[in-house]
Chains A and B, each alone.
Chain A
Amino acid sequence: MAIAIVRLRTHQRMEFPVLDIIYVIAIVAVAAVVLLVAKGVEKL
């Protein structure tokens, strides 16, 4: 991981990772759906 960070810092042409951000949000969103289901189950 340290090697990757060093190499990443020296990499000159980085594009803004729009799709990465969208997919990270999607991961958090599906986890939030599961938590919402759990909240609903508590009321059963």
Chain B
Amino acid sequence: MTPVATEWLLLAAQLATLIVLLGVGHVFLGDYMARVYTATKHLKVERGFYRVIGANGDGEQSWGAYLRSVLAFSVVGVLIVYLFQRIQTWLPWALGLPQPSEPLSFNTAISFVTNTNWQSYSPDTTLGYTVQLVALAVQNFVSAAVGIAVAIALVRGFMYRRTGTIGNFWVDLTRGVLRILLPISIVAAVILIACGVIQNFAGFQHVTTITGSTATIPGGPVASQEAIKELGTNGGGFFNANSSHPFENPSAWTSLFEVFLFLLIPFSLPRTFGRMVGDRRQGVAIVATMAIFWLASNVLLAWAELSASGIAPQLAGGAMEGKEDRFGIVASTIFGASTTLTSTGAVNSMHDSYTSLGGAVTLLDMMLGEVAPGGAGAGLYGILMLAVIAVFVAGLMVGRTPEYLGKKIGPREMKLASLYILTTPALVLLGTGLSFAIPAVKADLEKTSIWNPGSHGFSEVLYAFTSAANNNGSAFAGITANTVWLNTALGVVMFLGRFVPIVFVLALAGSLAQQDKVPVTAGTLPTHRPQFVGLLIGTTLLVTALTYFPVLALGPLAEGLK
């Protein structure tokens, strides 16, 4: 068997393993999450927390109140993470590291609160254990819980009749952390430790190697952070090399387990959605749409990397630059496709070294809007917004009032869905455009940030803004992002890319919750059949391709055609 054929066989085996694990896991977790978010009783510890923050755990909120709670909680989070970084020198376990600069602290604080986890810095040589644990790891939990809470609020919009309320943010947040993320993270961390991921407070160890030279080996509480980094679709590494570092991801088995972890919640939430709206088939249609995109991306990315031209790639059986030997090509592409489709942003290979077409696939994955299956919560609310548009398009074709799950999709709902899908592309294109349109910024980018001039350099900047606006966090690592412009601009884009779409999602949830349900008639479009899955895939592709094709032509496509 040729090396390339072996790689394809490996791809099939690993994807099949993931499908089986996720097929079983999403049923249990999806049903469990539905029970968590519909339960009427609070745990004792939860009641204590509500008392501390002065929240009424039994009260429901309008979409405006829900949004203000999300925003207030997140802004306070940004300020706390910013403060912790700026006083790092005086914190315990700072490892003698100085405090990060103001622009870098701004960028990092927003990055972790928005579930992006873009890192303009090298974590192991920039942040001590206290900042990593008390500031960043806490945000890994709560930012994921915020995303899930917003998705559940939108699902309640479809569930509720004439209420105008969409749940209680503080209850959703607390349950998400205590009942879902924390228990699974503890189990996952133990598994990771058993598989070789480190967990200590050893600091930097200076050792003499067998050749007589010295080496510095960093330690740290990695496994506990790695578990929530993947489960919460966060992606921020403890080390600069992220999941390609052997202390974070020692083997092909841990790599597959990490992919499973960051796919688990996004693929389980459609099941939760189906359960909560009382029709599991609706969840199956959504998960089928996500799975088709995910499988297609995996095959495309593997094909791009395995069929790389040139003597070195052909001798190696594919494009091995930037990939770890212990993972090989397909374990890298599975990780790469899944991380860019889930808004995780963790990497076990360097996307900057992918072939031009491979790089284009990772970009396109993010440009889909992080919906296949997307981030924790963000994936579900993203694809439901696209489903609203798909239903509207179908309504136009058959000349009937569009409905989705018994709720009418009127002008207000369509305006909100349209604004939602316009926000992220606007941020990506404006951010990238301004970076090259402002002469001083362009000069700084070309002098400091871009190491690969031409089309690839353009792709690096485009990737950075695409990653930031979609709250992904991965990077074309050839770019030096720790500059005043990129730290500040990417910080603003991450914040707006997270919370402006959430405004439209919650407003839509509120609008739907005010409506009564309309009965199903012969003219109602069935939204649980393969026909709707095809319509949703087509809508997603059209919206994405039309928006981004010109800019992709300037970057990876131009590079590939050279």
Task: Give the B-binding residues of A (Cβ under 8 A).
Answer: 1, 3-4, 7-8, 11, 17, 19-20, 22-24, 26-28, 30-31, 33-35, 37-38, 41-42, 44
Contacts and interface: CB of A to CB of B under 8 A. Distances in A.
Contact of B105 (A1, A7, A23, A37): A23
Interface of B: 64, 67-68, 71, 74-75, 78-79, 82, 86-87, 90-92, 102-103, 105-106, 109-110, 412, 415-416, 419, 488, 491-492, 495-496, 499-500, 503-504, 507
A38 B110 contact: no
22 contacts: A3-B90, A3-B92, A11-B90, A17-B86, A19-B102, A22-B102, A23-B82, A23-B105, A26-B491, A27-B79, A31-B75, A31-B495, A31-B499, A33-B496, A34-B71, A34-B500, A35-B71, A37-B503, A38-B67, A38-B507, A41-B507, A44-B415
Which of A11, A17, A24: most chain B Cβ within 10 A? A24
Nearest to B134: A1
Contacts of B102: 17, 19-20, 22-23
B466 to A, nearest CB: 19
Given A3-B90, A4-B87, A26 B500 contact: no
B503 A44 contact: no
Contacts of A3: 90-92
Task: Give the dominant DSSP class at A's interface.
Answer: helix
Contacts of B499: 31, 34
A23 B103 contact: yes
B494 to A, nearest CB: 9
Given A7-B90, A34-B496, A44-B412, 15 more contacts: A3-B90, A3-B92, A4-B91, A17-B102, A19-B103, A24-B82, A27-B79, A30-B492, A31-B495, A33-B500, A34-B499, A35-B71, A38-B67, A42-B64, A44-B507
A1 B103 CA distance: 22
A31 B91 CA distance: 28
Nearest to A21: B102
The 5 closest A-B pairs by CB, nearest first: A7-B90, A19-B102, A4-B90, A23-B106, A34-B499
Nearest to A23: B106
A8 B78 CA distance: 21
A28 B87 contact: no
Nearest to B499: A34
Contacts of B103: 19, 23
Contact of B503 (A4, A26, A38): A38
A28 B109 CA distance: 13
Contacts of A33: 496, 500
A22 B74 CA distance: 19
A8 to B, nearest CB: 5
A20 B419 CA distance: 33
A26 B105 CA distance: 12
Nearest to A9: B90
Nearest to A7: B90
Contacts of A42: 64, 507
A41 B106 contact: no
A35 B106 CA distance: 20
Which of A11, A42, A44: most chain B Cβ within 10 A? A44
B514 to A, nearest CB: 13
Contacts of B91: 1, 3-4
A22 B71 CA distance: 20
A38 B496 CA distance: 12
A24 B71 contact: no
A8 B416 CA distance: 48
